[in-house]
Amino acid sequence: MAEKKTFYITTPIYYPSGNPHIGHCYSTLACDAIARMKRMQGYDVMFSTGTDEHGQKIEKKAIEMGVTPKAYVDDIVANFKKLWATLGIKYDRYVRTTDDYHIKTVQNMFEKLYKDGYIYKSEYKGKYCTPCESFWTESQLVDGKCPDCGREVTEASEEAYFFKLSEFGPKLKELLLDPEKNFLEPKSRVNEMINNFIEPGLQDLCVSRTSVKWGIPVTFDEGHYVYVWMDALTNYISLLGFMNDTYNDYEKYWPADMHVMAKEIVRFHSLIWPAFLMALGEPLPKKIYGHGWITFDGGKMSKSKGNVIDPFVLCERYGVDALRYHLLREMVFGSDCPYSNEQMFARINSDLANDLGNLVSRTTAMVIKYFDGTLPEEKEFTEADNDLLEQLDVLPDFVSETFETMRFSEGLAKIFSVIARANKYIDENEPWKLAKDDTAKPRLAAVLYNLLDAIRRVAILLEPVMPHTSPKIFEQIGADESNTTWEASKARHALAAAVTVTKGEVLFPRIDIDKEIDELNKMFPAAEEEKGKDLEPLKPLTKFDNFAALDLRAVKVLSCEKVEKSDKLLKFKVDDGFGERQVLSGIAKYYKPEELVGKTLAMIVNLEPRKMMGLESNGMILSVKYGDGYRVVEFDDSVLPGSDIS
C-alpha cells in the first residue's frame, strides 16, 4: 500500500510572558484550518504549536511575582492550552522549550555546531544596566537609558558564544531568490530581507549568555546559557525527535511544509533558521509565510468601549466558528487587519446568518413542507441548473489553493459568492410556485435536491474553518460520512436520491448590533476619556464573605527604600496601629522612596507573608492604575494608623 503523503505545519512558539490575546489567535487558527483541510485531503499531518519559555523577560516577571520561572510559565501555558481548546485547535504536538527532549536537542546541536566550527567563543558587547543586570542594544534604549528602569547604562561586555551567520549571506540570498522554491511569502518581504539585512552584511549571532540564567545550559562551558533564537527555532525539529530519543518523526515529517508567523519574526525564520540548518547539513523548510498583524485602534490593543477583544468572551457570546470565520475572512494575506467587534457582528449577520444560515433553513424547511422531509427519487434536472453546478465544480480546487497559500479571505469570499448564487437559484426557480402544480413535482424535487447538494459541497469546504458548524449542517441536510469527504466536494449529486432532512437549530442567530455593543459596554464599562487605556474586564460576582475575610487598614509609612537589584520593588516599614511591620510593593517605577515617607496608605494586613527577592512582605499596599503606572491609595494625616477600611 502506498504510504500517505505527509504534511508538517507549524505556528510560532509563543512567549508565555503574558496571557494570550486575540492577536495570538490568527497564526494558530490559520494553521489549524490548513491542517484540517490537509487531513481531509488524506495527508498524514503534523501540526505543531508551543511556547518559548526561556529568557530574561520571563525570569524577571517571575522574580517580581516571587515564584520560580517554571511555575510562572506553567500557569500561562495552561491559559494558552485553554484558549486553543476553546477555539477548537486540533494540534498534534505541543512543544515547550522547557521540555527535556527539547533541551537535549538544543544541547546536542550546540555541541555539534561548536565542534564543526560554526560556533565560537568571543565577547558580547552592549549597553549594560547594572541594577537590572541586563544588556541592551543601542536601538532598545529609551532616550539612551535602560528601557526597564530608566537608569543610566554603561558599556560592558561578557563572554559569549557566537554563530557564524556572516558566512551565510550569499547562500541565503540564493535561497530567497530561487524562483522554483518561492521560499518566503509574501514576495514583498524577500526584498526587505535582502536589502535590509543581507546586503549590508549579516552580523554573527550571539547564541549564549552568562547574564541570563533562565535558559538551557551549554554542556561544555558552565555558566553559559543558550540564548533566545537558537533555543526557540530549534523547536521545529526537536519536537520531531531530531537529536533526541523521545520522538522518532524527523525522517517522516522534516522538512516542514509551512512555517507560519506574523511579519515581525520573518527575519529570524528566513535568515537565521535556514543558516542553522545549512550549518547542520539538514534540509531546509519548504515555505515561510509571514502574515500581517491584527491591529486594534490603529495598532494598540484596547479594551475600551465596545471593543472587547478577549477571545474567550467572544467565543462564548458569538460562537467559536463565527470568530474563526471572521478572523480568517477578514485578514488579507500580507496586510495588517484592524479588528472591530462591530465589523465582526456585521459579518456574522450578512455572511453567516443571512446567506449561509438562511440557505440551510429555507431549503430544509421547503423539503419538509413540500415533501414531508424526504425527496422523491423522480427528479427533473434542466439547463437552468448548470450555472450553479459549474460554479460548485471549480470551487474545491480554488479553495484548496487559496487556503494552503494563506489566502483564506479570497477562498472564503469565493465560497460565499457560490452560497449567494444558490440563494439566487431559489429566487430564479420559485419553488413555492412549483409546489402549487402537481405535475411540477419532479422539477421541484430537482431544485431542492440541487440546493441540498450545493449546501453539502460548500459545507465540506467550510469545515476546516468552521469545524463545529459543518457537521450540524450535514445532519440537517441528511448527508453522511460517504458524501462529506473532501473528495466528495468535487462530486455532483452525491446525496442519496431519496434524502431525508431534519429541522435543526438556527445555525447563526442574528445579532442586534446596537444592543450588543451596549451589552459589551455594560460588561466592560469605560468612560469616554478612558478610551485607549487597558482596563481589566470586570471579575465575576463574589460573596460578601470573601470581602469580609480581608483585613483592610490605614497604615503610616515610617521608612521606605529601594530593594537592591530590583527595579520594581520598594521596601516599607509601616505602622499598622499595633506595631511596625515590613511590606514590599512593586511601585518603584512610579515613586521616589522619600516621597512616600509619612504618607497614610491603604493596606491589606492579613495576607500570608510572602518572600520576594529574599525579603519578607507582610501585607499588600493598595494602588490604583493611573495612566501607564500606578498611584498609591492614600488618606490625609487625620486618619489614624490601624483604622479599619470597609
Catalog residues that contact ligand MSP under the rule CB under 6 A: 12-15, 23-24, 26-27, 52, 232-233, 235, 261-262, 265, 293-294
CB burial of residue 16 (10 Å; 0-12, 13-18, 19+): buried
- Report, in Å, the least distance between residue 288 CB and ligand MSP: 11
Instruction: For residues 378 and 228, give the distance between their C-alpha atoms in angstroms, rounded to a whole number.
Output: 67
CB of 24 to ligand MSP, least distance (A): 5
CB of 294 to ligand MSP, least distance (A): 4
How many Å apart are CA 470 and CA 455, to the nearest integer? 10
Least distance from ligand MSP to the Cβ atom of residue 15, Å: 4
Rounded to whole angstroms, the Cα distance separating 566 from 545 reads 36
Shortest distance, position 233 Cβ to ligand MSP, whole Å: 5
**Three-state secondary-structure class, residue 603:** strand
Nearer to ligand MSP (CB atom), residue 27 or residue 476: 27
Q: CB of residue 289 vs ligand MSP: minimum separation in angstroms?
A: 10
CA 352/CA 321 separation, integer angstroms: 10
**Which of 280/384 has CB closer to ligand MSP?**
280
Helical axes 273-280 vs 169-177, angle rounded to 10°: 110
- Name the residue nearer to ligand MSP (CB basis): 233 or 520: 233
Q: What is the 3-state secondary structure (H, E, C) of 262-291?
A: EHHHHHHHHHHHHHHHHHHCCCCCCCEEEE
- Look at strands 552-562 and 119-129 and give their pairing: unpaired
Residue 606 cell numbers, joined:
492579613
Nearer to ligand MSP, 110 or 486 (CB): 110
By beta-carbon proximity to ligand MSP, the closer residue of 232 and 601 is: 232
Q: How far is the CB of 555 from ligand MSP (least distance, A)?
A: 39
Of the two residues 339 and 630, which places its CB atom closer to ligand MSP in the complex?
A: 339
Report the helix count and the strand count for the chain, using DSSP H and E: 23, 25
Helix axis angle, 273-280 relative to 100-115, nearest 10°? 70
The residue (of 277 and 569) whose beta carbon lies closer to ligand MSP is 277
Query: At 411, which amino acid appears?
Result: G
**Among residues 338 and 504, whose Cβ is nearest to ligand MSP?**
338
Please give the single-letter amino acid code of residue 594: E
Of 296, 341, 344, 355, residue with least CA distance to 322 = 344
Place of cell 510593593: 585
Q: Closer CB to ligand MSP, residue 285 or residue 357?
A: 285
Three-state DSSP at 467 gives: coil
d(CA 311, CA 344): 13
Instruction: Select from 478, 482, 437 the least CA-distant residue to 455.
Output: 478
The three three-digit cell numbers of residue 380, written as one number? 427533473
Q: What residues contact 412, with CB distance under 8 A and at least 6 apart? A: 325, 328, 329, 465
Helix (H), strand (E), coil (C) string for 414-466: HHHHHHHHHHHHHHHHCHHHHCCCHHHHHHHHHHHHHHHHHHHHHHHHHCCCC
The residue whose Cβ lies closest to ligand MSP is 23
Q: From the CB of 84, what's the least distance to ligand MSP, in Å?
A: 13
Residue 55 Cβ vs ligand MSP, minimum distance, rounded to whole Å: 9
3-class DSSP state of 398? helix
Tell the smallest beta-carbon distance from residue 1 to ligand MSP (Å): 36
DSSP helix/strand/coil, 174: helix
| Closest to ligand MSP by CB, 15 or 635 | 15
In the complex, the smallest distance separating the C-beta of residue 293 from ligand MSP, rounded to whole angstroms, is 4
Angle at which helices 386-404 and 22-40 pack, to 10 degrees?
120
Distance in Å, CB of 335 to ligand MSP, minimum: 11
Nearer to ligand MSP by C-beta: 84 or 425?
A: 84
How far apart are CB 62 and ligand MSP at their closest, in Å?
Answer: 17
Contact criterion met (CB below 8 Å) for 209 and 110: no
Mapping DSSP to helix (H, G, I), strand (E, B) and coil, where does residue 172 land? helix
Name which of 232 and 395 has its Cβ closer to ligand MSP: 232
From the CB of 550, what's the least distance to ligand MSP, in Å?
Answer: 35
Which one, 330 or 385, has the nearer CB to ligand MSP? Answer: 330
Q: Which is nearer to ligand MSP, 52 or 463 (CB)?
A: 52
